[in-house]
A and B are shown apart, each in its own frame.
Chain A
Amino acid sequence: MINIYLYKENLPKNLELIDDPEKAILAVPMVGSDFQKLIIKEVEQGEYKDDTVFKDRFGNCLYYSDLSTGSKIMLLLEAFPKRVINCDEAGDNAFRYITRLRECNAYFSVRSALIDYESDVPASLNGVGYVSIGDINCFL
């Protein structure tokens, strides 16, 4: 299930929050999953190379710490489906790939999020279930 949490008071108390994606990215094993390759290709316009570097849009090899914050957030959502990831800094062009995940927990503290895309994965908003993430639009 894709779980969306808006505002701090709605965070589940039993799940660990990853609040700073810049620090947490080092814990993500870059194994070249389909999703990792997708994010690097579509968001960064780059290419996955191996577990330490990717090729950026200009052909330079960079460490994964040089990815954009939005890409890091998406990789964290995939890598840690049982934790809540702060998605405040995820751009719209990155966050829309949440539809490719089957299970994750995304948190926005302030965001005026607009989720105008669909997925066949069940979703929830602040613990209330919906058929899919597209249904959440009405309540944001």
Chain B
Amino acid sequence: MKYTIGTKTLTINLPKDINVTTRNSAQGKTYVYKLLSGLLESNSEYKKQVLLVNNISSKEEYASVLSALEKGGYSLVVFDRADRYMTSELMGCLLKIQGEGSAVVLLDLKNWNSYLGLYPSIYEIQLNSPKEVVLNVAYDF
């Protein structure tokens, strides 16, 4: 998938699997999230297909996200700061929609193994420049 807005280009090369990114800080994860947000704000067609979540701080917000996921219709789901609010229930829902064909990107989940009992493979976001971000991610058990 390739998105362009102004002088910025975001290329997302990923299989339709749940993806886990590096355990390190300052890798560009939130930058990717902000870039996606900016891209989607200007493109109503993409906006309908993508769900972006950068925090869940209340039970109401959690219920709302869960409801949106269960309703479905997203080709791409991106969660930032997933460590703060991820639960087994939410992870189960993500696995389900991933199985149905959605791409799920967890931009900050260092405790993957807490939810699935599996230690994640570590992948990187390549922040080549402020104008180009390439997501090369894969998930491998």
Contacts and interface: CB of A to CB of B under 8 A. Distances in A.
B25 A68 contact: yes
Interface stretch (B37-45, B65-73, B91-99, B107-115): B107-115
Interface stretch (A8-16, A83-91, A130-138): A83-91
A98 interface: no
Contacts of B9: none
A69 interface: yes
Contacts of B110: 88-89, 91, 111
Contact of B26 (A58, A60, A93, A112): A93
A26 to B, nearest CB: 16
Contacts of A90: 25
B83 A89 contact: yes
Contacts, number: 60
A112 B111 contact: yes
B8 interface: no
A92 B81 contact: no
A89 B108 CA distance: 8
A91 B129 contact: no
What band does the interface of chain B fall in when counting residues whose beta carbon is under 8 Å from A?
20 to 34
B114 A43 contact: no
B16 interface: no
B22 interface: yes
B24 interface: yes
Contact of B25 (A58, A94, A112): A94
B114 A91 contact: no
A60 B113 CA distance: 36
5 contacts: A20-B57, A71-B25, A93-B26, A94-B26, A110-B83
Interface of B: 22-27, 29-30, 55, 57, 81, 83-84, 108, 110-111, 113-114, 129-130
